[in-house]
Structure 1
């Protein structure tokens, strides 16, 4: 059984998104989408560890823990 894919984001300084995208692909990331200040991608926990260890352009790697809709602060806190 293959490990689950996680929804991930990595932040980087402006202008480094292209380099970050290539680094993440080298770490095993899938469906990498370049953003203005980083990249969004799918990956396993192993690819998260590889990105943290080997990426020179990523400031941080974020794991999406939950996703929900919230129209205001009260709905956000209720979720």
Structure 2
């Protein structure tokens, strides 16, 4: 079992709900911290980094899509 913080879980849920689709950093920020929260998108990058470490070696991975956001994708052959 992987233990996730409240915000890591919110990030996971936002990515999982949009699996195989690119989710903008700003949309993730709204999902995690609430709409209109004054939070730097670097906070999202930090959460993504921590979540990636925790799910490393699993069946899915979080990929960065430069200039757009992140996507949750299944590992292995398509």
- TM > 0.5 between the two? no
- Select the structure of larger CA radius of gyration: 1
Which protein is richer in strand relative to its size? 1
Which protein is richer in helix relative to its size? 2
TM-score under structure 2 length normalisation: 0.32
TM-score under structure 1 length normalisation: 0.32
